[in-house]
Amino acid sequence: MSAVAPGYAAPAPAENYLTAARGVLSWLLTLDHKRIALLYLAAILASFLLGGVFALLIRTELITPGPTLMADATKNRDFYNQMFTLHGAVMTFMFIIPAIPAIIGNFTLPLMLGARDVAFPRLNLASFYCWVGGGVFFVLVLLTGGLDTGWTFYTPYSTETTTRVIPATLGAFILGFSSILTGVNFIASIHMLRPPGMTWFRMPLLLWALYATSIIQILATPVLAITLLLLIAERALGVGIFDPKLGGDPILYQHFFWFYSHPAVYIMILPAMGVVSEVIATFSRKHIFGYRFIAASSIAIALLGFLVWGHHMFSSGQSGMANAIFSLLTFSVSIPSAIKVFNWLATMYRGSIWLKTPMLYALGFILLFGIGGLTGLFLGALATDIHLHDTYFVFAHFHYVMMGSTLFAFLAAMHYWWPKMFGRMYSEFWAASAAVLVFLGQNFTFFPLFVAGARGMPRRYAEYKPEFAVYHQISSLGSYLMAIGLFLVLAVWIHSLLRGRRAPANPWGANTLEWHCASPPPHDNFATTPAAGDPYDVEAWEYDPQTESFVQRDPAVATAGPAR
Amino acid sequence: MIASVLAQFGDSFWMPTDASTYAFRVDRLFYFILAIATFFFALITVLMVLFVVRYRRRDGRIPAPSASHNTALELTWTIIPAILVVLIFVFGLKGYMDMATPPANALDITVTAFKWAWAFTYPNGHVDANLHVPVDRPVRLTLTSQDVIHSLYIPAFRIKKDCVPGRFNRMWFEATKVNDTEGYDLFCAEYCGTSHSAMVAKVYVHDAAGFQRWLEEASRWEGRIAPVQRGAQLYEQRGCRQCHSIDGSRVIGPSFRNAWDEIVEGRRAFADGRRLADLLGEGYTAEDYVRESIYEPGARIVAGYAGVAMPGYRGQVRDNDIPAIIAWLKSLSDRYRSEADLPAAATSPASAPDKGGAR
């Protein structure tokens, strides 16, 4: 067991990062990674709400096969097309991509490193304001005529449409910089700030996941930036790049776009997997199983993720050879994903499983990711993909992987680190009830759509054949259930902030370094740099029923613990 | 609700009717993957539930020590999935390669997609809004688009291919079941703007003799139907109705109700500020303007419709169709209806086009 300076597990000191400075400016101009994480939290949750409202409008429109929300069919179609575009753009660029890295990563990464902050605190704040700047452009799009290209901005439609393509792509361009700056910061922090004792293979798995994510962010995002600039050049200046009328090639756009946007899928899922690795180990009260395989699989996913973009274009007319290669490479990504799932299950084997809210979300993640991942097999195989491409099957698949899995991991992370963030506990009963509601809502909303898709229901249809109505109706009811569940989550959080019991330093008995400092942490995190041991040595902590928290065992006993 | 779900399971829970030689192979692979996916999902769920119940936290129980890694076990669950996915890849590739290679004796049909309808051109030059094919004969489609990317999707045949402007894509299929009354659904699967969800057509599968008969009849309208009916037919079948109303309401383009009055009297105003009256005269008649609006819609944009791009119909609407369209336009005009050369059963603007007749 590492020597931890006394005092970290002590009751909250009089002053913490939330109370260290007062006034609006102390928040808006803060360089403290923890406060920046909370700024992101507020902004990203607002985006999630906005994207969620769009989603509910979409689901309401689809309750009947014909026009539902507006009597005029043309206006209704235009409205629907705008709603699914804005839903996709807001959720992708402003919620799923930044949620875990920017909120959870910013809060926990320096703490897990035993550091006082990220390597470049000013860059961190700049990254937040890039996000805000990108967000302003999106709001501008909303207020000045909307966008109807789909979040993918496919050419030549995006060159022709009269809606606000340029502000929207500029928004995505600026949001991309936010993502790049966060990635640079995390990579530098992990390289430079690891405490004594923390070798690469003693890093918490969340750090491996964030490291892999950061690699993708800094390598792939610039490609999106260039692509969007080229699109802007085509629209604004008539430079022929993608539009065949100007001598361009529309498929070229798809290659550029997916060269970023496929790896971006792993920007969404890798940090989620990192969170789940932490939560499963902590709540199984056991050392994570197969640490090296999980760590290596994160890096493998990040690298292989760059080589599979062509599977979005199997029906576009690209050569059979290209299709075959992209199909094979796509299957290679499924193997590291499978390794992770089996290792999480093996971690639970012979553990002492504690079904607290974060664990419920993590178990939900495994099931949802299971469905999302396994349905990916149908889409990786060429013959079945041709039938399923651009149907609701694809739609349901990525809503299980992106929405289901990433949202669940985000909620697991929020409930796991909530006591550390705010120094308060939440109502376990209501938080767990909300988790069950969201889980049911997710499955009712998206599972029927696999069937609709396999039966031939195309995506992005404002109106559809009556034979598909039943799937859409179950789905719409499910989406309302999910909305109720998510509002309950919010209510639980607000109640916790106002009335929650004070949180101990280590309510869950985890051994990563953030649990060694007070809840909430002081402004400088650690008085002196702690030495790191095995991050999953949970036996070093013992439950103390009197304080309802975990306290460190006598180091002598801890080292004499079970050998492995 | 449950009853209506069950009512659809004539064929199977997951897949629609299979009506091409290719569908059976796709379904076979689909069910193979479904079996693997179900097995692994059940395995994950059972293990999770088992562990949660068996090893749930109890006060005072300290978990027995267990290994934190086991290389042999981890290699096992790396290698078994790897073998399975390679197997799935090979099956998927095999099915796809068969699909990518059309046989030599195929019937050639050219597909032109545009916002928001389809034009299928048959070997004799006939253009139709729906796809008619003979049964048990390979059909090769050459696909392109006039404007943005579309994608031709026939669920019953399990085939899909994008229609990309500026290039020709190719696919083929062989229908196995005659279906010349109801037809199979044909969708646009790539989002293409406002009326994407209305870019729906039908595939009719005829027996060999029936296909020839259909093609001959469909190719000749003169002498069979009145020009005004031909005009109404084109309006319904070639996607005009997606954007132009016949009741005076504004959809995406100008309405055809009383449009002829505006044109022949020169009252039509253009986005560049000019009026049609300034242009009409020797060598540029109202009829010339109609022809131009169909062949080169971008040449003159009606005032109030700047930014609306209509696809051109040169090559898809033939010259002898233009007078028919004009006769039909006249039938939609209050003042010029008497000129429309109406057949005995006079068609009023409200009833002339057979609503929904195309689909």
A-chain residues near B150 (CB < 8 A): none
Judge contact between A184 and A123, C-beta under 8 A: yes
State whether residue A473 sits within 8 Å of chain B by CB.
yes
- The residues facing B165 across adjacent strands are B145
pLDDT for res A2:
41
| Closest chain A residue to the Cα of B198, Cα to Cα | A463
CB contact under 8 A, B89 and A564: no
pLDDT for res A555:
60
How many alpha carbons lie under 13 Å from residue B221 in its C-beta half-sphere? 18
CB contact under 8 A, A327 and B164: no
What is the least distance, in Å, from the CA of B212 to any CA of chain A? 30
Length of chain B: 359
Reported as a single tens digit per residue, the pLDDT across A495-554 is 999 999 999 999 999 999 999 999 999 999 998 889 888 999 888 888 888 888 898 886
DSSP secondary structure code for residue B338 in this structure: G
Tokens, residue A218:
């800094």
What is the least distance, in Å, from the CA of A181 to any CA of chain B? 33
| Closest chain A residue to the Cα of B310, Cα to Cα | A160
Looking at this predicted complex, what is its ipTM?
0.91
| Closest chain B residue to the Cα of A474, Cα to Cα | B1
What is the least distance, in Å, from the CA of A127 to any CA of chain B? 33
Selected residue of B45, B148, B252 to mutate for chain A interface (largest A Cβ count, 10 A): B148
CB contact under 8 A, B29 and A290: no
Of A448-457, B20-29, B53-62, B80-89, the one with minimum mean pLDDT is B53-62
pLDDT for res A554:
67
Q: In whole angstroms, what is the distance from residue A242 CA to residue A221 CA?
A: 20
What is the least distance, in Å, from the CA of B50 to any CA of chain A? 9
Does A17 reside within a domain? no
Q: In terms of C-beta density within 10 A (0-12 exposed, 13-18 middle, 19 or more buried), how is residue A175 classed?
A: buried
The residue among B125 and A414 whose pLDDT is bigger is A414
CB contact under 8 A, B193 and A161: yes
CB contact under 8 A, A455 and B69: no
CB contact under 8 A, B159 and A387: yes
Name the residue type at position A396: A
Chain B contacts in chain A segment 231-260 (CB below 8 A) = 244-245, 249-251
Residue B165: which of A448, A242, A152, A387 has the closest Cα? A242
Judge contact between A429 and A496, C-beta under 8 A: no
Query: A160: pLDDT confidence band, cut at 50, 70 and 90?
Result: confident
CB contact under 8 A, B193 and A148: yes
Query: A478: pLDDT confidence band, cut at 50, 70 and 90?
Result: very high
The average confidence (pLDDT) of chain A is 92
A-chain residues near B198 (CB < 8 A): 77, 463
Does A14 reside within a domain? no
Does A6 reside within a domain? no
State whether residue A499 sits within 8 Å of chain B by CB.
no
Q: In whole angstroms, what is the distance from residue A337 CA to residue A301 CA?
A: 8
Tokens, residue A182:
């966060």
Q: In whole angstroms, what is the distance from residue A408 CA to residue A482 CA?
A: 12
CB contact under 8 A, B45 and A367: yes
Does A2 reside within a domain? no
CB contact under 8 A, B78 and A370: no
Residue B222: which of B212, B213, B211, B233 has the closest Cα? B233
| Mean pLDDT confidence for A142-147 | 89
pLDDT for res A4:
42
CB contact under 8 A, B30 and A286: no
Q: In CATH, what number is assigned to the domain containing residue A122?
A: 1.20.210.10
| Closest chain B residue to the Cα of A345, Cα to Cα | B48
Name the residue type at position A479: S
Residue B281: CB atoms within 10 A of its CB come to 9
Domain containing A370: what range?
Answer: 24-559
Selected residue of A149, A257, A353 to mutate for chain B interface (largest B Cβ count, 10 A): A353
In the A/B pair of chains, how many CB contacts fall below 8 A? 274
CB contact under 8 A, A460 and B4: no
A-chain residues near B52 (CB < 8 A): 348, 353, 355, 363
Longest distance between any two alpha carbons in chain A, whole Å: 76
Tokens, residue B54:
């068996």
SS3 B185: strand
Residue A557 pLDDT greater than 60, yes or no: no
pLDDT for res A7:
41
State whether residue A162 sits within 8 Å of chain B by CB.
yes
pLDDT for res A53:
97
Q: In terms of C-beta density within 10 A (0-12 exposed, 13-18 middle, 19 or more buried), how is residue A372 classed?
A: buried
DSSP secondary structure code for residue B111 in this structure: E
pLDDT for res B313:
85
Tokens, residue A281:
């180990």
A-chain residues near B146 (CB < 8 A): none
Element at A555 (helix H, strand E): helix A555-559
Of A70-74, A291-295, A331-335, the one with minimum mean pLDDT is A70-74
B-chain residues near A285 (CB < 8 A): 57, 63
Reported as a single tens digit per residue, the pLDDT across B307-358 is 788 888 887 788 888 888 998 998 888 888 877 666 654 444 444 344 333 3
- Cα A11 to Cα A6, A551, B259, distances in angstroms: 12, 11, 82
What does residue B204 show for φ and ψ, rounded to 5 degrees?
-105, 125
CB contact under 8 A, B89 and A380: yes
Selected residue of B51, B61, B76, B243 to mutate for chain A interface (largest A Cβ count, 10 A): B51
State whether residue A537 sits within 8 Å of chain B by CB.
no
Residue A507: which of A479, A456, A547, A477 has the closest Cα? A547
Residue A1 pLDDT greater than 60, yes or no: no
> Which residue matches tokens 């195929």?
B106
Does A8 reside within a domain? no
Cα–Cα–Cα angle for A208, A210, A213, nearest 5°? 110
Does A1 reside within a domain? no
Does A242 reside within a domain? yes
Q: Directed axis angle between helix A320-348 and helix B23-54, to 10°?
A: 20
| Mean pLDDT confidence for A251-278 | 94
Selected residue of A163, A287, A315 to mutate for chain B interface (largest B Cβ count, 10 A): A315
Give me the number of domains chain A comprises. 1
Residue A382: which of A323, A331, A333, A335 has the closest Cα? A323
pLDDT for res B350:
41
CB contact under 8 A, B8 and A74: no
DSSP secondary structure code for residue A436 in this structure: H
Element at A550 (helix H, strand E): strand A549-552
How many alpha carbons lie under 13 Å from residue B61 in its C-beta half-sphere? 15
Query: B132: pLDDT confidence band, cut at 50, 70 and 90?
Result: very high
A-chain residues near B74 (CB < 8 A): 290, 293, 339, 342-343
Residue A5 pLDDT greater than 50, yes or no: no
Peptide bond into B323 cis (omega under 30): no
pLDDT for res B223:
72
Q: Directed axis angle between helix A33-61 and helix A121-143, to 10°?
A: 20
Written as one string, the DSSP assignment of B40-65 is HHHHHHHHHHHHHHHTB--TTPPPPP
Reported as a single tens digit per residue, the pLDDT across B255-278 is 999 889 889 888 899 988 888 888
Spatial neighbors of A27 by CB under 8 A, at least 6 apart, are A35, A38, A39
- For B162, the closest of A317, A371, A467 (CB atoms) is A317
pLDDT for res B68:
82
Q: In whole angstroms, what is the distance from residue A377 CA to residue B88 CA?
A: 8
Residue A86: which of A116, A56, A62 has the closest Cα? A56
CA end-to-end span of chain B: 26
CB contact under 8 A, B47 and A345: yes
Does A7 reside within a domain? no
The average confidence (pLDDT) of chain B is 86
Element at A226 (helix H, strand E): helix A205-237
Reported as a single tens digit per residue, the pLDDT across B171-225 is 999 999 999 999 999 999 999 999 999 999 999 999 999 999 999 888 887 777 8
Q: In terms of C-beta density within 10 A (0-12 exposed, 13-18 middle, 19 or more buried), how is residue A59 classed?
A: buried
Selected residue of A360, A390, A394 to mutate for chain B interface (largest B Cβ count, 10 A): A390
Reported as a single tens digit per residue, the pLDDT across A171-229 is 999 999 999 999 999 999 999 999 999 999 999 999 999 999 999 999 999 999 999 99
